[in-house]
Each structure stands twice: as structure tokens, then as C-alpha cells.
Structure 1
Amino acid sequence: MSGVSRLTSGVLQGGEPPAGSGTDTGVMQSRDADAAELLHMCSIEDWARARALGEHRPTSLAESGFIHLSAPYQIHLPANRLYRGRCDLVVLSVALNLLDCPVRWEPGVPSDPESMLFPHLYGPLPIAAVNSVANFRPGPDGFFEPLAQTTY
């Protein structure tokens, strides 16, 4: 699997979303506005906590007011910036039509290409909106590579 990050297929225990649905995803801006799913990465421990609570509330929600999401082609950028070398991560595939809070496409950090926008969820992530969960592993050098389209 050279050139792509290790995204282990299969759903972790508890990865199946419970019954339920959300409402409108709110403001969507960019060429990816019609994307049906986005990705979010977190630790296995954070995902276990979210399953117990029924929603995911990472520290970024309290600190910045939103949860960082990524389009599949972007997920390696924040992974390398924030989690390089970590092997305890999972990637959540999030169904936008099951979110209760708005998603806005906004600029990333200054080192990202100026034209690249990242999706931000302005509220908690309900576990009912998570379609699948997969382990997310870096390569032997500790870096995450772009995902192959067939892995998500």
C-alpha cells in the first residue's frame, strides 16, 4: 500500500451509528459544497468517550467554537501537522445530512495553500452522523500520506 496512509478497513466496535437523524448542514462554501461525507480524526480513547456520551466534543469545540473536519483528499495535512507519528487514531466518516449544526468551509493555517478551504462543524458531532470508523496509521517514517479514494 505504498503512497497512501494506512486506513484499516472495517468498523471498530461501536462504530455503527445508532438510529436517528439530524437536519440541515447549514452554510456550505467551496467546490466541495455537494460532498455527502467528510472525515474527522480523533484518538481511539476520544471516540470511546464520544460513543458513551452520544456525541463528540473535542477540545477544539470549546477553544475555537468548531470541530475540524476534512475532505478525504485533505486529511493527511492536519494529521501531519497535529498527530505525526501517532498510531492511536481513528478516522470517522461523517454523513453531512445527519448533522444538526452548520458546516462552513474556511481557510486553514497560513502554511496551507491560500485557495484551500477546510470544513468546520460549528457544534458537537453526534455519533448518529458517523457512518464508519477506521484505524488511521502513519507510514514507517511517522508521516500520514494522502488517502487513496478507495479507502474511505
Structure 2
Amino acid sequence: MLQTEWTPMTLVHHLALQTDWEHAQQAGEYRISTLGHTLDDIGFIHLSHDHTQLRTVHDTYYTAVTQPLLVLDIDPTGLDIRTENGYPHLYGPLPVTAVTATHPYAP
């Protein structure tokens, strides 16, 4: 597995169920790696560099989901993000304060 250190330059993104994001806002942090898997299960939170990667994540994990999906725009400053196999991964919980915006995701 190719691993490189993350250099904060641009926003990264995460595809989330709206309900998971709502729970995170109450808790102060987001801990879902990918649909049905937590940070504790996987060891990191899956992120995307761009909308092409988001589409791939959607097509791989979320095609059967009927709940509303959101794109979380994340400022990577101060977060332990590493790019592995072309995708950024966050090692640790996502503080809600690092999310700069949310947008509905429509495949």
C-alpha cells in the first residue's frame, strides 16, 4: 500500500448519511468511516480529493442507499490525513469544526 504524508493545501471531502452528520453535530465529532463502518472498525475515515473520487465511493458503497446523502467539505489543517492508494484517509475522529460546508449529494 502506497502511503504518503498529507500536505494541507485544499479541501477534502467525505460522503455521509445526513443522519450520521446530524449525530456528529450533537457529539462534536464524526466517526463514520464508510457506510455501516465506524472509525473504530476500519481505523480511519475515508475521504476524497475531488468529486470524481466521491462518485467512485458512492458507486462502490452507497448505490442502494435511499436516505439523504451529504458531501462534507473538510479543511485538512491540523488533521492526521494520509493519502493511501490515491485516496486521503483521516486517522482519528473528524471534529465538526473542520467541516467548512455541507452540500446535498445527488448521484
- TM-score normalised by length of structure 2: 0.83
The equivalent position to 2:46 in structure 1, one of 59, 68, 75, is 68
Deviations along 1:64-118, one digit per CA (max 9) or x if unpaired, are: 100000011311001110001535100000001153xx111112xxxxxxxxx10
The equivalent position to 1:80 in structure 2, one of 59, 65, 85, is 59
Counterpart for residue 99 of structure 2 = 130
SS in 2 for 1:39: strand
Amino acid at match of 2:84: E
CA offset at residue 34 of structure 1? 5.2
SS in 2 for 1:35: coil
Amino acid at match of 1:94: I
The equivalent position to 1:44 in structure 2, one of 6, 9, 18, is 18
Q: 1:3-152 counterparts in 2 under 5 A?
A: 27-28=5-6, 33=7, 35-58=9-32, 59-72=37-50, 73-87=52-66, 88-99=68-79, 102-107=80-85, 117-138=86-107
SS in 2 for 1:75: helix
SS in 1 for 2:48: coil
Amino acid at match of 1:79: H
User: Runs of at least 4 residues of structure 1 off by over 6 A?
Assistant: none
Q: Do the aligned partners of residues 122 and 104 (structure 1) sit closer, same or farther apart at CA in structure 2, a change above 3 Å counting?
A: same
Structure holding more strand per residue? 2
Structure holding more helix per residue? 2
Larger CA Rg, structure 1 vs 2: 1
Unaligned 5+ residue runs, structure 2? none
Corresponding residue pairs, total = 98
The percentage of aligned residue pairs carrying the same residue is 34
- TM-score normalised by length of structure 1: 0.60
